[in-house]
Amino acid sequence: MADQMSCSELLRADLLRQHNLLYGDHQGAPSGLRLWLGVWSPRFVPVLLCRIAHSLHRRRLEPIAKLVSLLNFFAFGIEIAVRCPIGPGLFLPHTQGTVIGAWSIGANATIFQGVTLGAREIDFSYTEQSRPTLGNGVTVGAGAKVLGGVMLGSDSRIGANSVVLSDIPAGVLAVGAPARGIDKIRSLDGET
């Protein structure tokens, strides 16, 4: 999905989600000026740099993509693999100490500070079998580690400081080290 959208479409979706999470969606869609002022938020600039780096990678401008990614690392303390496709609506409330080396990340992901999404062992070949895949609507809590070729199902939640070494089904809250699913997440209307 992410590779089918343009960089500007992804950024607009990211900005809208950030606005809705920070201010609530009861206000309706923000005006163009108010929406684009959100670009300068310290929560959004790392997303902007990530999107630019991935866009450059898709255009086979790898050295420039890596420089943009390096800027993200030095300025915000977040390391994001330029080849990792990330769906629209990415939200990074805080970035320090975060490493995103996943195979792919779906739409509307929320990733907190200190998270590691990567391989269990040194993996310079960057294969799907050694990297996590995140479904849509996944939230990864502060300090969590998701390692290896695991799948986090859509709408799953990973608790803070959890260590995920096996697949987590859709809609499940997982906590602990190693993480285990403890509860099906209930929707606001009480259904599971």
Q: What pLDDT does 124 receive?
A: 78
Report residue 187's pLDDT band, with 50, 70 and 90 as the boundaries: low
Tell me which CATH code domain 2-184 carries: 2.160.10.10
Q: What pLDDT does 115 receive?
A: 97
**CB within 8 Å of 95: residues ≥ 6 apart:** 46, 76, 77, 78, 113
Phi, psi of 183 (to 5 degrees): -165, 145
Identify the residue whose tokens are 């450059």: 56
pLDDT in tens, 124-143: 788 888 999 999 999 999 99
Report residue 40's pLDDT band, with 50, 70 and 90 as the boundaries: confident
Report residue 99's pLDDT band, with 50, 70 and 90 as the boundaries: very high
Residue extents of the structural domains in the chain: 2-184
Percent over 70 (pLDDT), the chain: 87
Q: What pLDDT does 170 receive?
A: 95
The answer for 155, left when phi > 0, alpha when psi is -120 to 50, beta otherwise, is: left
Prediction pTM value? 0.88
Q: What pLDDT does 188 receive?
A: 45
Report residue 185's pLDDT band, with 50, 70 and 90 as the boundaries: low
Distance CA 131, CA 179 (A): 17
pLDDT in tens, 44-98: 999 999 999 999 999 999 999 999 999 999 999 999 999 999 999 999 999 899 9
Report residue 29's pLDDT band, with 50, 70 and 90 as the boundaries: low
Complete DSSP assignment for 65-87: HHHHHHHHHHHHSEEE-TT--B-
Q: What pLDDT does 1 receive?
A: 60
Is 153 strand, coil or helix? Answer: coil
Residue 32 has pLDDT above 80, yes or no: no
DSSP state of 41: S
Give the mean pLDDT of the chain. 89
